[in-house]
Amino acid sequence: MKSLDLEAVQAFVLIADLRSFTRAAQAIDSTQAAVSLKIKRLEERMGRRLVERTPRLVRLSAEGLAFIDAARDLVSSHERAVRAFTTPRRRLVIGISHLMVGPDLPALLRSMNQHDGSLVIELRVAGSREILRSFDEGTLDAAIVLRQDDDRRTGETLFHERFAWIASADWLHQHNGPLRLATQGETCSVRAMALRTLDEAGIAWTEVFIGKGAAVLGAAAAAGLAVAVMARRAAPAGTVDVGPKLSLPVLGSTDAVLYSTVSDTRSRAALKTLAATLRKASLK
């Protein structure tokens, strides 16, 4: 019977989830070269090519797809065995901007649970400013927000959140009328950026829907009520970026930043997995 290197199998599962050797290495606090070596040795041990990699694409081979479920079971069983007597439950309280919570949330939660199933995750969703206030008050272990115009110089930049004009695929704009918008209301910095961009381009607009969070704005767009100003990554199925079609000006991007006060190894490792998963989602 062939025995398998468990760390190599863990790396393989991360690559399957994150579609990147680099992000997999970040999640386990390793290097891309080390992860590549683990996968090479695993493939040699299995006698199968498990991962196909090109300069632009990382995906599982047919053999890798056949192996992935068993690999997940192996990693999960190992984690349960390790936690049986020695791993106490730990609560990790994370605040995240509601503009950043989109269709990728299930994958994000799954990756964290697979990493550490005994970790109790408390996720609080609100506006970036509210999340930062809670973080400063010490009620959050970590905060993932859009960078605000303040003097903060700490924090880890995860990616650049790109914003777009999101509407239903069959959206029809009445060219003799103002652009119908769905926004988060006057306190939202993304709304201010979008309206400033429209005003500078001489495009008339009217606000017809106000709601908090990407899920709510995405619902308004999918229902055909308006064009939502939101992150392209968080757009729901059935919607598209209508900016090019309507000749709307390109919207800017804002840094997504992770702030954290955790120091224990388990929590730091969980946040690394979270950051890697969010980076992957930002590329969609």
Give the tens place of pLDDT for each residue, 78-87: 777 766 655 5
Is residue 165 very low, low, confident or very high in pLDDT (cuts 50, 70, 90)? Answer: very high
Residue ranges of E strands in 54-186: 58-60, 90-97, 119-126, 142-146, 156-168, 179-183
Q: Are 238 and 169 in the same domain?
A: yes
- Tally of domains in the chain: 3
> Is 98 part of any domain?
yes
pLDDT value of residue 228:
94
What average pLDDT does the structure give for the chain?
Answer: 85
Cα-only R_g, the chain: 21
pLDDT value of residue 150:
61
Among 30-44, 104-118, 180-194, 223-237, name the one with the lowest average pLDDT: 104-118
Query: In this structure, what CATH number is given to the domain that contains residue 103?
Result: 3.40.190.10
Residue 2 has pLDDT above 70, yes or no: no
Is residue 196 very low, low, confident or very high in pLDDT (cuts 50, 70, 90)? Answer: very high
Residue 57 has pLDDT above 90, yes or no: no
> Is 247 part of any domain?
yes
Q: Helix H segments across 90-161?
A: 105-115, 128-136
Residue 1 has pLDDT above 50, yes or no: no
pLDDT mean over 13-40: 86
pLDDT value of residue 210:
94
pLDDT value of residue 128:
86
Query: Tokens representing 278?
Result: 């969010």
pLDDT value of residue 270:
82
Q: Are 149 and 275 in the same domain?
A: yes
Where a domain ends, among 65, 83, 101? 83
Q: Which residue has the higher pLDDT, 207 or 83?
A: 207
pLDDT value of residue 209:
95
Which range has the top average pLDDT, 41-50, 51-60, 169-178? Answer: 41-50
Q: Are 128 and 264 in the same domain?
A: yes
Which range has the top average pLDDT, 170-179, 199-208, 261-270? Answer: 199-208
Sign for the CA dihedral angle at 191, 192, 198, 203 comes to: positive
Q: Are 103 and 42 in the same domain?
A: no
Residue 281 has pLDDT above 50, yes or no: yes
pLDDT mean over 20-25: 85
**Distances in whole angstroms, Cα of residue 163 to Cα of each of 28, 83, 90, 99, 195:** 30, 41, 35, 10, 13
Q: Are 203 and 214 in the same domain?
A: yes
Per-residue pLDDT tens digits for 150-164: 666 678 888 888 899
Containing domain of residue 217, as a range?
161-252
**% of the chain exceeding 90 in pLDDT:** 26
pLDDT value of residue 197:
93
> Is 1 part of any domain?
no
pLDDT value of residue 149:
64
CB 51 within 8 A of CB 12: yes
Q: What are phi and psi of 116, to 5 degrees?
A: -155, 90
CB neighbour list of residue 77: distance below 8 Å, 6 or more residues apart = none
**Distances in whole angstroms, Cα of residue 48 to Cα of each of 21, 37, 51:** 18, 15, 9
Where a domain ends, among 35, 59, 83? 83
Q: Are 150 and 263 in the same domain?
A: yes
Q: Which residue has the higher pLDDT, 152 or 228?
A: 228
Residue 276 has pLDDT above 50, yes or no: yes
